Amino acid sequence: MTSINQKRFCQICKSEKEGVYCPACKKETSSDLQVFIVEELKMRVGLKGQVREGEHGKVASHFEFSEKEVESGDPRFPDGVHISVAIDRRGDMYHQVVKDKKTGNIIHEEHEPLSQHRSKAKCIKKEMQG
């Protein structure tokens, strides 16, 4: 979001003034105009990691997690959403929680065996392709 402000200052005494009359000098004076442009940036935070084990050629990840903030595209959530995902391959579990970033209210939640989550995703992908 961008905002623009401008201020007028007396060239003689450098006091802020409105219009051409300087209240400090008590007369009409030339003005210096200062324009302030402020650009507001919104940053999103994310964290991703995994736990690995194994020997030299065979390193496998058995637990992954990610935390991220994203824009939702839904007008009900103008500040975006926070998505938390945990994948436990050993325990065959998939966890996902989506929260409204502003209020912290849970919008969507999944806790299911990873094997079912993957097969469900494959079925949906096949339906979309064919």
| pLDDT, tens digit, 9 for 90 and up, residues 31-75 | 988 898 888 877 777 889 888 877 766 667 788 999 999 888 888
Residue percentage of the chain with pLDDT more than 70:
86
Please name the helix (run of DSSP H) or strand (run of DSSP E) that holds residue 103, with its range, or none: none
- On whether the pTM is more than 0.75, the answer is no
Residue 18 DSSP one-character state: B
Amino acid at 2: T
| pLDDT, tens digit, 9 for 90 and up, residues 65-95 | 999 998 888 889 988 899 999 999 888 899 9
For residue 125, what pLDDT is reported? 47
Separation CA 27–CA 80 (nearest Å): 53
Which residues have CB under 8 Å from 111's CB, separation 6+? 93, 94, 95
Q: Which of 12-16, 97-101, 108-112, 120-124 has the lowest mean pLDDT?
A: 120-124
Please name the helix (run of DSSP H) or strand (run of DSSP E) that holds residue 126, with its range, or none: helix 114-129
